[in-house]
Chains A and B, each alone.
Chain A
Amino acid sequence: MFARIRNGLVVFLATLPFAASGALASFGVEEPEVEGHHLWDVDDPVDGFHHLWEEVMMDIIIIGVIFALITLYFLIKYRRKHNGQEGRPPKLSRAAKMGWVLIPVAIFMADDLFLAAEGWTLWKKYREVPENNIEIELESAMWSFNFTYPNGIETYNELRVPAGTPILVRMTSRDVVHSLYMPDFKVKEDSMPGRITYLWFLPKKVGEHVMTCAEYCGVMHSMMHGKVIVMTPENYQSWYKQEQAKLVEGGAGS
């Protein structure tokens, strides 16, 4: 029996990396940053996310595989060989009964509290907004994301941001509950009427990312999406000034 357990363990350890990497690959690996833009002294929660995600995946895959293999082994080993056969339940002493409760409880709790502590550290990163951010207001409505920049520029379903600066989105809603979800930045937050909530993220790589509504808001819920456009700081500045000029012009003309 021990030989079988040993063989099982070998198989398990051999397959583990494949199973783990398969699960992890789907969530993407950190992408290289833009050249010329050096690392900002901002602790990006997305890095912490990937780290914790890998840890949790490892954790649950190990637990899951161990339990599944033991179950499979028992199901095969203890099948009924002849009619009328009965089980031979182990007789547990009082100490064994307590042990079978206390030891697993201690292990589960240690794991839970470890993950909770890690999760909490990361949570604080997600919620503590770094200095020198750009604060953009969001009012969501059925069915669009309406952003207002500090200088009064308004955009719809389009969030233009410079790479390298933390972006704080302070949000509320005009009508029903919506949720700003940006899958690439691993963050979402509900925007609700009568309440003000926020999220922040660090755009690093120039390019376009999806933003989409994650809280059911009616017929056009799935059509409520837009783009996060990460620009180089220079491009962003020229866009920002240009739009501001248009705004002033428009204001003067009216």
Chain B
Amino acid sequence: MSTKTGKGKVIAEWIFTTDHKRVGILYLIGSLAAFLVAGLLAMVIRMELSEVGPQVTDPNTYNVMLYFHGAAMILGFQIPALTGFLANYLIPLQIGAKDVAFPRLNALSLWLFWMGIILALLTFVVPDPPDIMWTGYPPYSIISPGNTALYASTVLFMGFASIAGGVNLITTIIYMRAPGMTWGKLNMFVWTTLGAFIIQLVFVPVLGSAVIMLTMDKYLGTHFFNPASGGDVLLYQNLFWFYSHPAVYVILLPVLGIIFDITATFARNRIFNYWACVVGGVGGIVLISGEVWVHHLFTSGMPNWIRVGMMVSTLLISVPVGIMVLSLIGTLYRGAIEFKTPMLYAAGFIFLFLIGGLTGIPHAIASLDLALSDTHFVVAHFHYVMAVSGTFAIVGGVYYLFPKFTGKMYHEGLGKIGFVVTFIGANITFFFMFLVGLGGMPRRYFDYSHMPELQDLQQIVTYGAFILAAGLFITLASWLVGLFKGKKAEDNPWGSRSLEWTTKSPPGPGNWAEVPDCTDYDPYGYGEDR
């Protein structure tokens, strides 16, 4: 590209890269950075809550940390790790394309994402850090001394990155498939990511307009959400959740997709009832995802007719999700399961997701939600179903692809120990958090001096969180050891039939010397009787 030599050239190549694999890896680095910072803050939050009374912080700092934890984990870690790293890295490889449809747009979306990460990190530098939580409800976000504009800008950068990525990868999946790569030969990950990007394209603009209106209310004196001038505080909550509930499926769908691919590879088995899973599961989730948001507002004085409607639609989301879980468990049936680290994460995922999904049912029922919403019960629920399950899928996915994108093998022993410790820690943390919630502890509390009986449970949660953190550091160690000292990876260390494993490890520019012919290809073509 330039005449520079040595390190400078390498760095410039990475910064100005349009290669989907490098874009993916840069997405991974950014999202892991967000995960690390937000995770460390979670430790401070847990230390604060371990005992009654102020412990290690003050309410101001605590609220800023809680804001950053939520916003960074969702917008900076999970969505970019799934729809940025995994989707960018895997989709062209799984559909037999040399790159995405619009490589430069891909680079732009990466840059926007990195700007979002940098803006988010400025939270710790600016004198007036946002303390408005990741939901940013007005009127508090309008009268708060915190910097609402920083929040809105972070959301906008991440949102534009998502839209650019969505346009790009949807086009890629539709137009860039290799010859012979029919719709029935797509990996589950491709299907689920397609669903996730459709949701992103439909709903992200709504969130974008909501935070722009919020910024105008705060700094330009408009009155969208100001009741004194005829505005409505509930308008923002509706707009916010109109995006942010579907965002849960933006995370869930690729999570299920990568878990399906890991499971099929390590069980050397076909996806059970593939088309039911694609049409009923992915299609059903995409269809219902936008009709359930009012379950976040069950206690907000919405009219009864919409509450009963959304209660039913929320309960019905268990139908497509149930179909996908059946297919996932069915993929184990008569398989030949090898428990390498990625498969351990996929297996652990099933149990975590069961707990997380099923504890959503009491929340879906409006009359039970009157007691449960905005307590630690809902915090435990969404950590099980989204945070922990999602992170297990992301970590499992990184393990799964580690040989491919680094060309080295991770440390298997450390990987397995890391899994066991993480699994135990996550369950201690979040199972006891359910009980804290049932005890009546609301979320986003700095202190609970009026509920001192919860202290014992809170302490167990804190111990669990430290075990969880230890597990994640062991995981990181297993990657770093692999990266620097790992043995060289084969092209297809798992014996997978999927197309991405026919490339070299790591794949060179253009992925294949020639575009592969997929006439006789089947990503899940396992079975001794074939």
Contact = CB atoms under 8 A, between A and B. Distances in A.
A197 interface: yes
Interface centre among B140, B334, B359 (most CB of A within 10 A): B140
Contacts of B351: 68, 71
B55 to A, nearest CB: 13
Contacts of B528: 85-88
Interface residues of B, number: 90
A74 B263 CA distance: 12
Interface string B278-309: 00100000000000000000011100100110
- The interface size bin for chain A is 35 or more
Contact of B319 (A79, A105, A118): A105
Interface in A64-98: 64, 67-68, 70-71, 74-75, 78-81, 85-90, 92, 97
Given A126-B370, A187-B370, A193-B227, A86 B442 contact: no
A209 to B, nearest CB: 10
Nearest to B444: A216
A119 B338 contact: no
Interface stretch (B28-36, B96-104, B432-440): B432-440
Interface centre among A175, A176, A197, A222 (most CB of B within 10 A): A222
Interface string B314-327: 01101100110110
Contacts of A78: 267, 332-337
Contacts of A74: 329, 332-333, 335
Contacts, number: 266
Interface stretch (B7-15, B203-211, B447-455, B501-509): B447-455
B367 A119 contact: yes
A218 B354 CA distance: 34
Given A59-B361, A188-B373, A89 B354 contact: no
B59 interface: yes
Interface stretch (B115-123, B147-155, B269-277, B400-408): B269-277
Contact of A26 (B143, B333, B435, B444): B435
Interface of B: 59-60, 63, 131, 133, 135, 137-140, 143-144, 227-228, 231-234, 267-270, 272-273, 275-276, 280, 299-301, 304, 307-308, 311-312, 315-316, 318-319, 322-323, 325-326, 329-330, 332-339, 347, 350-351, 354-355, 358-359, 361-362, 364-368, 370-371, 373-375, 435, 438-440, 442-451, 526-529
Interface of A: 26-27, 45, 48-49, 52-53, 56-57, 59-60, 63-64, 67-68, 70-71, 74-75, 78-81, 85-90, 92, 97, 100-101, 104-105, 108-109, 112-113, 115-116, 118-120, 122-123, 125-127, 175-177, 179, 181, 183-184, 186-190, 192-195, 197, 210, 212-223, 225
